[in-house]
Amino acid sequence: MEDDFYASIKLKTGEEIFARVLPCDEENKITLIVTNPIIITSVKGRGDSSGYKIEPWMKTTTEDMFIIHMNNVITMTETNDLEIIMIHQSFVRRIEDMKNNRHSVSRKMGYIANVNDAKELLEKIYNNS
């Protein structure tokens, strides 16, 4: 049919998802193959600050590709908004890193100690309180 693109999709369930979309025409029925669909929620912070909360659409699976039939779609719009596309790509990279277990330990994560040293330190804190 055509190439894939980024789109916001409003489903009949009321959900609004953002994903990379590939439309497919099979037996005169159009289906959408969506890759790494996410839910984006705008969040207001203190003062004038604001941001986005990103969540996976399907939280109980590790699959990244889903098929949506067009009869479940209210509307869909292609987007070229670079900010939202970059947010989606960043989310996908984090998911891939977690799948590949590419977490590296660093001092920014907190104090790193062995079990005996940590036990000794905690016992000192407990005894002095």
- Which fold would CATH assign to domain 5-128? SH3 type barrels. (2.30.30)
Extended beta strands in 3-61, E state: 5-11, 16-26, 29-44, 50-56
* Segments making up each domain of the chain, as ranges: 5-128
Neighbours of 31 (CB within 10 A): 18
Find, among 4, 1, 6, the residue nearest to 85 by Cα.
Answer: 6
Question: From CA 110, how far away is CA 105, in angstroms rounded?
Answer: 9
Find, among 53, 75, 57, 78, the residue nearest to 66 by Cα.
Answer: 57
Q: What is the mean pLDDT of the chain?
A: 87
Mean of pLDDT values over 75-101: 88
Strand-pairing partners, residue 21, are 5, 34
Q: pLDDT tens, 28-81?
A: 888 999 999 999 888 888 888 888 889 999 989 888 999 999 999 999 999 999
pTM above 0.85, yes or no: no
